[in-house]
Amino acid sequence: MNHADRQQEIERTMRRAPVIPVVVIEDARAAVPMARALVAGGVPAIEVTLRTAAALEAVRAIAAEVEGAVVGVGTVLSEADLRAAYEAGARFAVSPGATSRLLDAASDIPLPLLPGAATASEAMALLERGYRYLKFFPAVPAGGAKLLAAWAGPLPQLRFCPTGGISAATAGDFLALPNVLCVGGSWLTPADKLAAGDWAGIEALARAAARLGA
């Protein structure tokens, strides 16, 4: 898979639903029923963050057992993270920022990367490397929908998945922008519902999120 193919795959992933759930999972046994609830709710692309020891096991389980799920790995910081995500069966990777070393590794590992940017200079640097699909992070602290709207004029080639501080109530402000394909949000898989095994509740949140783009 060359860079152009990886970019196309990232675009397809971003267009699957208005929201990509950003999941912090403490117990890998919750991964499969959680992912099935999200897929049933119309939200198939799932970002499992590398913030817990259970993350890669959760990715392996979702990749192997959940039909219709497109599982990715978030909080990718290094070549080792990127390679571990690929070997676990992830379909995409997401990073909060982008370093030259990480981007060099992404050129060698056949896993589509959604790299993060918080400033126009960072976005321009990624554009120079051939990235047209970016994560805008941290979205709300970095300037929110108003900043992304301002970028649409001088950076029309770029499309974003803003993540960080976005809620169900504010997602629509971002999704209305011409340069936003989806948003990332943690509200679909709250810790209390994961801990309680409230899969029906997570499916309901996913259904509501899937309607945001309508």
- Nearest-angstrom CA–CA distance, 90 and 93: 7
Query: Strand order of the sheet with strand 183-185?
Result: 113-114, 92-94, 70-74, 45-49, 19-23, 183-185
The verdict on whether 193 is a catalytic residue reads no
- Nearest-angstrom CA–CA distance, 59 and 64: 8
- Nearest-angstrom CA–CA distance, 68 and 55: 19
Which entry of 9, 57, 87, 135 is annotated as an active-site residue? 135
Which entry of 11, 26, 47, 65 is annotated as an active-site residue? 47
The verdict on whether 47 is a catalytic residue reads yes
Alpha helices in the chain (DSSP H): 3-14, 31-40, 55-65, 79-88, 100-108, 120-128, 139-142, 144-151, 171-175, 191-196, 199-210
- Nearest-angstrom CA–CA distance, 160 and 190: 24
- Nearest-angstrom CA–CA distance, 65 and 56: 14
- Nearest-angstrom CA–CA distance, 30 and 198: 10
Question: Would you please indicate which residues are annotated as catalytic (active-site) residues?
Answer: 47, 135
